[in-house]
Copies of this chain bind each other. A is one copy, B any other.
Amino acid sequence: MATVNENYLKLPGSYLFAEIGRRVAAFKEAHPEADIIRLGIGDVTQPLPAVCIDAMHKAVDEMAKAETFRGYGPEQGYDFLIEAIRHNNYVGLGIEIAANEIFVSDGSKSDCGNIQEIFGVDNKVAITDPVYPVYLDTNVMAGRTGELKEDGHFEGITYLPCDAENSFSPDLPNERVDMIYLCCPNNPTGTTLSKEELTKWVKYAKENKSVILFDAAYAAYITEADVPRSIYEIEGAKEVAIEFRSFSKTAGFTGTRCGYTVIPKAVKGLTKEGKTVEFNKLWNRRHTTKFNGTAYIIQRGAAAIYTPEGQKQVKELVGYYMENARIIREGLKAAGIEAYGGVNAPYIWLKTPNNMPSWDFFDKLLTEVNIVGTPGAGFGPCGEGYFRLTAFGDRENTLRAIERIKNKLHF
């Protein structure tokens, strides 16, 4: 009989947002009159920038005529988008990245999930705790872990705890690791790593010949000048780091799907015989074999954000959410709740009052003030005692939510 990939069976069944949905639905059924405000899932709410709308209408029209119709495009993305990315996000900042080091995709989730495929199964993986679940789950599926332990950690993974004590900046691991997932600005904590901290990681990776998988999906939200927008701002990173970027949060593309991955040619891995191989070459093989390019219409929409008018519109959009972040951050402070993030990221990571377990705080927030957030424990054991609120709501709901927390939540 055909056998299954048993690694999948190591993953716990229930998924964070499914459990949240279940609890919210149960509450709603019991209290149909409740006016629930959702600041839980990290999804945007504001319309696409007008430049994207215009560009996509134009592209749709091109698909209506034989002379301008587009069939299969290059799997790696169209030049018009790759060059726009290259010049605006790299060359313009003094970072030399070649066109064939950029791979356009249907979003960072796919790339962050699929990237591990080009690595050997024997690689030792390090992830922060708490963490975006995709890094861990895809390595479990690939067989790079043992079983799930009682403490919520998987055997064989090196966890890097991040909490208020270390300012959410992970310490270097005591053991040698090969693949290091870093997310900056961080989901869920909303915090960032300084140039100094990132330099420490690049140095570690060079010394240990590890590869840093750097998820910069939220780079557009950085407001402080000294926080690196790209890991390639760090000297030597081009030899050890792969970077993931996304239009999802930058330009509201969560339902429009476009992102890209940068793999410099200097990033290499080893064969058992000691030969080095470019990861760029392997990813190119994967991308051309298992993917057929992002829709032309969507790539045109994404490229539009790099026009001067597009840059202005994206800045306004990000500014809108970051004003929400400020409202939440300052509101929580006024309510006497300790909170982190929200300055260079659309996430606010709060310490639950009186060290309340994060699922208890979820229920309290839902039942007492009808607000949905995300329990920190859902992102890993070290997220216990924390809670995530997102700045992606609309302004009115964000203001109302904070008023409720300030005036009606008792703890």
Contacts and interface: CB of A to CB of B under 8 A. Distances in A.
A271 B117 contact: no
A305 to B, nearest CB: 14
State the copy count for this chain.
Answer: 2
B64 A53 contact: yes
A295 B71 contact: no
Interface in A280-339: 282, 285-286, 288-298
A2 B270 contact: yes
Nearest to A108: B292
Q: How large is the interface on A (under 10, 10 to 19, 20 to 34, 35 or more residues)?
A: 35 or more
A25 interface: no
A361 interface: no
A322 to B, nearest CB: 18
A189 B216 CA distance: 45
A109 B256 CA distance: 20
Nearest to A276: B1
Nearest to A69: B47
Interface in A54-96: 56-57, 60-61, 63-66, 69-73
A1 B107 CA distance: 28
Contact of A4 (B138, B208, B279, B298): B279
Nearest to A6: B271
Contact of A298 (B3, B50, B282, B297): B297
Contacts of A69: 45-48, 252, 255
Interface string A244-257: 00000000101111
B64 A43 contact: no
Interface stretch (A119-127, A149-157, A344-352, A363-371): A119-127
A4 B120 contact: yes
Contacts of A296: 255-256
B60 A47 contact: no
A408 interface: no
A163 interface: no
A2 B119 contact: yes
A378 to B, nearest CB: 15
A2 B290 contact: no
B2 A107 contact: no
A46 B66 contact: yes
A5 B285 CA distance: 12
Nearest to A281: B8
A289 B209 CA distance: 28
Question: Which of A6, A178, A252, A270 has the most CB atoms of chain B within a 10 A radius of its CB?
Answer: A6
Contact of A122 (B3, B114, B120, B121): B3
A43 to B, nearest CB: 4
A263 to B, nearest CB: 12
Contact of A269 (B2, B41, B134, B290): B2
A254 B72 contact: yes
B47 A66 contact: yes
B294 A254 contact: no
A44 interface: yes
B50 A64 contact: yes
A172 to B, nearest CB: 16
A6 B117 contact: no
A217 to B, nearest CB: 12
B71 A48 contact: no
A148 interface: no
6 contacts: A2-B269, A5-B282, A46-B69, A106-B292, A134-B290, A297-B297
Given A2-B120, A44-B71, A134-B289, 12 more contacts: A2-B179, A3-B270, A3-B271, A4-B269, A4-B277, A9-B271, A48-B63, A48-B69, A56-B60, A106-B294, A138-B290, A255-B295
